[in-house]
Amino acid sequence: MAYYLQRQGVAYDLFEAGSEVGGNMRTLHKNGYTFELGPNTLQMNEELLQLITELKLETELQPLTPRNNKRYVLHQGKLHAVPSCPKSFLVNDLFSKEDKYRILQERKQPPAEVENETVSDFFERRFGVKQMDYLAAPLISGLYGGDPRQLLVNKAHPELKGLETEYGSVLEGMVQKKKRGVFQRAFSFRNGMSTLPQAIADKLISLHLDHKVEFITRIKGKYIISCAANGDHDNEEYDILVLALPAHQAAELIEFTYPGMSAALQNINYPPMAVVHTVYNRAEVGHPLKGFGALHPWEEQSFTSGSIWTSSLFENRCRPHEVMMTSYVGGARFAGHTQLDERALLEQVHQELRDTYQIKALAPVYQHLHLWPHALPQFDLYIEDAHHMAEVLEQDGLFISANWYAGVSVPDCVSEAKAIATKINTRPSSRSIA
Ligand SMILES: Cc1cc2nc3c(=O)[nH]c(=O)nc-3n(C[C@H](O)[C@H](O)[C@H](O)COP(=O)(O)OP(=O)(O)OC[C@H]3O[C@@H](n4cnc5c(N)ncnc54)[C@H](O)[C@@H]3O)c2cc1C
């Protein structure tokens, strides 16, 4: 956001509470391993590509090889490949003949506009129930740790709803987009995700690290920002304010200035999520791990919501004779799993990996846990009020550049940040704050 303001010649100050930039985009290099504590992969979009080019990061890009695009789903304790083309769909044993017939009928289902339709209802309307269980639910929970019975399809997955609106059918839309090569590959950076925020920070002229904003007031049309830095407190005055924070943290700052908005922000759900990296000797893992990873439907009642086969995607994350898997624990339905103490949680993950991947080792070579107490905002009915109010408050010069408004993926956040910077630049006021 600040980067785009700067490029457009808008004066700004960016206050960051931490001593490093990046927020959720955090890479940890430890004991010769590279651990992504937040995002593992990004999907390229137009704005992200342009940003990477401007920052001269093309040589740092680390794309996934096509053979590693295959995804698996756990069904009755065994892994099954998720069909990726019509042929693999027809021979797939995840679905009965009747289910396959019903899925193919999706193309004939007329499009419909249903108010507040949940992801679960959307899939049931278009495909039937079983597909929801084994494809959509893990897809959603894998990404958001979310509950498809609560998430609104037009907010949480506008791209899915968009296929129905634009092509009349999700399947037809996917086929057309594949033909036009619209689907982009996932990628990371050779040295990890932190590469991107760090490269942006290196360009910023008004970044203030270790500056925690404590309070925001509005007096005579100006925003007064109270900041704590190095034991001191500073007050600065601005015309425009950009909140680039998780909803619950933003809520505290504007409690007295915008109590209605603050209450709406407090209502946004952020289930906790633990990210566990586990390393084994390759020789002790029976499964070939050729693919992206496996997602676990809730019906399987497994401890984790799935694992990414990190060392299959990116060779340099562990030693060549080892494999690394990144597992996710918690989310909307299994938040309680994150309450276990660290040892018990790590042991549960290890035992599940042993059972699923035919691992002989009694203990992993290495394990690392990172807990996100408020991982990702849920785009359910509770988020609607905050979105409505955010639109109205733009008239006051208050803008939002955060994942609870833009969409949770990093490319969504980048696209929105660019759009907001342009919006601010076309206003008469000149000073802003992110
Ligand atoms: C476990 C996990 C896995 C994910 N996987 C993916 C993925 O694979 N692909 C993908 O595209 N996305 C993924 N995401 C989502 C993506 O990382 C986030 O949506 C995005 O990075 C959020 O950016 P943000 O700027 O909205 O918020 P944040 O990253 O939370 O940044 C907010 C910043 O505000 C600062 N701050 C907070 N309070 C104050 C204050 N009072 N004063 C000053 N500064 C303050 C914080 O220190 C922080 O730096 C994942 C997220 C998580 C948690």
Ligand 1 mean position, distance from CA 431 (Å): 25
By alpha-carbon position, which residue is closest to atom 34 of ligand 1? 245
Ligand 1 mean position, distance from CA 24 (Å): 4
Residue 53 one-letter amino acid = T
Q: How confident is the model at residue 230 (pLDDT cuts 50, 70, 90)?
A: confident
Q: Examine the pLDDT at 183 and tell me if it is beyond 60.
A: no
By alpha-carbon position, which residue is closest to atom 22 of ligand 1? 403
Least confident of 149-158, 188-197, 317-326, 362-371: 149-158
Rounded Cα–Cα distance for residues 413 and 92 (Å): 36
Taking only the tens place, the pLDDT of each residue in 346-357 is 999 999 999 999
By alpha-carbon position, which residue is closest to atom 9 of ligand 1? 39
Ligand 1 mean position, distance from CA 46 (Å): 21
Q: In whole angstroms, how far apart are CA 331 and each of 282, 294, 373?
A: 29, 16, 10
Ligand 1 mean position, distance from CA 299 (Å): 29
Kindly give the number of the ligand 1 atom that is closest to the alpha carbon of 214: 41
- For residue 57, what pLDDT is reported? 97
DSSP 320: T
Taking only the tens place, the pLDDT of each residue in 74-123 is 988 899 888 777 677 777 777 788 888 888 888 899 999 999 999 889 98
Q: Examine the pLDDT at 275 and tell me if it is beyond 80.
A: yes
Residues 6+ apart with CB under 8 A from 71: 81, 82, 84, 291, 292, 293, 294, 295
- For residue 76, what pLDDT is reported? 86
Fold classification of 2-64+188-268+378-433 is FAD/NAD(P)-binding domain (3.50.50)
CA dihedral 291, 296, 300, 302 (to 10 degrees): 100
- For residue 34, what pLDDT is reported? 97
- For residue 242, what pLDDT is reported? 97
Alpha helices per DSSP H over 303-366: 310-313, 342-357
Ligand 1 mean position, distance from CA 434 (Å): 14
Kindly give the number of the ligand 1 atom that is closest to the alpha carbon of 375: 53
Ligand 1 mean position, distance from CA 243 (Å): 13
Distance linking the first and last C-alpha atoms of the chain: 7
Question: In CATH, what class is 95-184?
Answer: mainly alpha
Residues 6+ apart with CB under 8 A from 373: 272
Kindly give the number of the ligand 1 atom that is closest to the alpha carbon of 249: 38
Q: Examine the pLDDT at 433 and tell me if it is beyond 70.
A: no
**CB distance 406 to 412 below 8 Å:** yes
By alpha-carbon position, which residue is closest to atom 25 of ligand 1? 402
Ligand 1 mean position, distance from CA 39 (Å): 9
Taking only the tens place, the pLDDT of each residue in 128-182 is 866 666 667 666 666 567 888 888 999 888 888 999 999 999 988 988 887 776 5
Q: How confident is the model at residue 256 (pLDDT cuts 50, 70, 90)?
A: very high
Q: Residue 191 has which token pair? A: 């040295």
pLDDT greater at residue 368 or residue 136: 368
Ligand 1 mean position, distance from CA 7 (Å): 22
Average pLDDT of the chain to the nearest whole number: 91
Q: Residue 307 has which token pair? A: 């694992």
Would the CATH topology of 2-64+188-268+378-433 be identical to that of 95-184? no
By alpha-carbon position, which residue is closest to atom 53 of ligand 1? 375
Q: Ligand 1: which of 24, 212, 254 to mutate, judged by most atoms within 8 Å of the beta carbon?
A: 24
- For residue 104, what pLDDT is reported? 85
Q: For the chain, give the percent of residues with pLDDT over 70.
A: 93
Taking only the tens place, the pLDDT of each residue in 371-418 is 999 999 999 999 999 999 999 999 999 999 999 999 999 999 999 999
Kindly give the number of the ligand 1 atom that is closest to the alpha carbon of 372: 53
By alpha-carbon position, which residue is closest to atom 30 of ligand 1? 23
Fold classification of 273-372 is Polyamine Oxidase; Chain A, domain 2 (3.90.660)
- Phi, psi angle pair for 360, to nearest 5°: -85, -30
**CB distance 6 to 205 below 8 Å:** yes
Ligand 1 mean position, distance from CA 246 (Å): 7
Ligand 1 mean position, distance from CA 411 (Å): 12
Ligand 1 mean position, distance from CA 34 (Å): 19
Q: Examine the pLDDT at 66 and tell me if it is beyond 70.
A: no
Q: Ligand 1: which of 141, 245, 313 to mutate, judged by most atoms within 8 Å of the beta carbon?
A: 245
Residues with CB under 6 A from ligand 1: 15-18, 23-25, 38-42, 212-213, 244-246, 249, 273, 275, 372, 375-376, 402-403, 408-410, 413
Q: How confident is the model at residue 220 (pLDDT cuts 50, 70, 90)?
A: very high
**Where along the chain do its domains lie?**
2-64+188-268+378-433, 95-184, 273-372
Q: Examine the pLDDT at 35 and tell me if it is beyond 80.
A: yes
Ligand 1 mean position, distance from CA 357 (Å): 31
Kindly give the number of the ligand 1 atom that is closest to the alpha carbon of 401: 26
SS3 201: helix
By alpha-carbon position, which residue is closest to atom 31 of ligand 1? 23
